[in-house]
């Protein structure tokens, strides 16, 4: 839950719990948990959830773990870059009740590998993947061309606030 303020009310920022669940492998795929938690919270605030008690979990995992999740939940063999697992739809949760938005799972090694041909560099790729995952938690999708266009527009908006351009 959100830590309360001194006046006893809920915090004005979403709660973002970040776990780096990867085995130490000596790679240079560093994860700045505070930076990425801040990005998630900022996207949620900008999407209009600053007045709600919202919790999101962000997990950084290795290729084996995301490959298992991809197979078990998406029916696709092999690792992927990001998966999102929504739990609560904020529109369906009454005001005053905490919203467990869900989990975003990111694989930094896949992000690093695809960054040069996708977002350009490792940090930009992680930013894009995290924003993409949060938008999935908020109900955005890319199964149809119109949905893809709308979701990518939201991604560009959020990334532009950080001086990044979505390719």
What is the mean predicted confidence (pLDDT) over 7-25? 74
Asked if residue 94 belongs to a domain, the reply is yes
Q: Is residue 8 part of a domain?
A: no
The residues, ordered by sequence, that sit 6+ positions from 57 with a Cβ below 8 Å of its Cβ are 16, 17, 18, 19, 102, 103, 104
Higher pLDDT, 29 or 24: 29
Does the residue 85 lie in any domain? yes
pLDDT value, residue 122: 92
Condensed to tens digits (0 to 9), the pLDDT of residues 42-73 reads 999 999 998 889 999 999 999 999 999 999 99
Q: How confident is the model at residue 7 (pLDDT cuts 50, 70, 90)?
A: very low
Q: Specify if 4 maps to a domain.
A: no
Instruction: Establish if 3 belongs to a structural domain.
Output: no
Q: pLDDT per residue over 122-160, tens digit each?
A: 999 999 999 999 999 999 999 899 999 999 999 999 999
Judge whether 10 lies within some domain: no
Report if pTM > 0.75: yes
Mean pLDDT, rounded, for 85-112: 95
Residue 1 pLDDT greater than 70, yes or no: no
Tokens linked to 12:
């004005």
CATH classification of the domain holding 81: 3.40.390.30
For the chain, the maximum distance between any two Cα atoms, rounded to a whole number of angstroms, is: 50
Tell me how crowded residue 151 is: count the other CB atoms within 10 A of its CB.
20
Count of domains forming the chain: 1
Strands 82-86 and 99-106: antiparallel
Considering the domain boundaries, does residue 22 fall inside one? yes
Q: Does residue 96 fall inside a structural domain? A: yes
Domain boundaries, position 139: 15-160
**Helix 33-44 and helix 122-137, axial crossing angle in degrees, nearest 10:** 40
pLDDT level of residue 101 (50, 70, 90 thresholds): very high
Model confidence at 119, in pLDDT bands (50, 70, 90)? confident
């Amino acid at each position: 839950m959100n830590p309360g303020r001194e006046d006893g009310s809920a915090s004005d920022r979403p709660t973002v719990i970040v776990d780096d669940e990867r085995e130490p492998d000596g790679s240079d795929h560093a994860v700045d948990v505070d930076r990425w938690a801040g990005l998630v919270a900022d996207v949620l605030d900008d999407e209009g959830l600053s007045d709600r008690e919202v919790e999101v979990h962000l997990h950084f995992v290795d290729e084996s773990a995301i490959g298992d999740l991809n197979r078990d939940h998406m029916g696709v063999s092999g690792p992927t870059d990001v998966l999102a697992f929504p739990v609560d739809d904020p529109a369906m949760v009454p005001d005053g009740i905490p919203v467990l938005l869900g989990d975003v799972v990111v694989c930094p090694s896949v992000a690093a590998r695809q960054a040069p041909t996708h977002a350009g560099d490792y940090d930009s790729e992680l930013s894009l993947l995290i924003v993409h995952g949060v938008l999935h938690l908020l109900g955005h999708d890319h199964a149809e061309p119109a949905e893809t266009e709308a979701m990518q527009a939201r991604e560009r908006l959020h990334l532009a606030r950080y001086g990044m351009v979505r390719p």
